[in-house]
Amino acid sequence: MLATLHIQDVELDSYLHNRAGSTGISRIQSHVRQCVTCEEKLVSLMIAQLAELSDKQRGRSSDSRLDRRVQIGEFGSLQTLFPLSFQRSEVEVINISRNGFGLLTPTFLQPGTIVQVTTATTVKLGEVRYCRSVDGGRFHTGVQVRTAREAASSMRKALPS
């Protein structure tokens, strides 16, 4: 039996910074779908990258920018980090507060799912608190903002021992 070769950290870093090329992206995604160890490593690196981005945003803001409300109707993309999915779906941010935001999503998201929401002005990490069907086949999804540490803790609790 052959031992599974894990993805090297340098390759995962290239993937996260969009430098892996289409062949590399395909190979990494294929491997991560089958290797729990590399999936966990990739998710951890994604969360660390989000924490770094969040720290940079916080350092730039000299006013109460973090508390400012995003306009209703802003569009962005959503990626689930736990469980990991490489798919990004378009979402509409319908409201936002200091501790969370409401989205219109094209698919149902299980409460407890860790998501990354990216808009033109921000990247946020959060945990789905509820998801309800609304007209037009979309879902009203409530997301509680999480720090990278909180998200990692939630994921560890959900993993089998």
Q: Sketch out the chain's domains with CATH numbers.
A: 9-60 (no CATH), 65-158 (2.40.10.220)
Residue-wise pLDDT for 7-40, tens only, equals 998 898 888 888 888 899 999 999 999 999 888 8
Handedness of CA 57, 62, 66, 69 (dihedral sign): negative
CB within 8 A of 94, min separation 6: which ones?
A: 72, 73, 102, 103, 104, 140
Query: What does the DSSP 8-state code read for residue 122?
Result: -
Residue 26 Rama label (left phi>0; alpha psi -120 to 50; beta)? alpha
Residue 156 pLDDT: 73
H runs (alpha helix) in 35-111: 36-60
Residue-wise pLDDT for 70-117, tens only, equals 457 889 999 999 999 999 999 999 988 888 889 999 999 999 999 999
Residue-wise pLDDT for 46-76, tens only, equals 887 777 766 665 555 443 334 454 457 889 9
Residue 56 pLDDT: 63
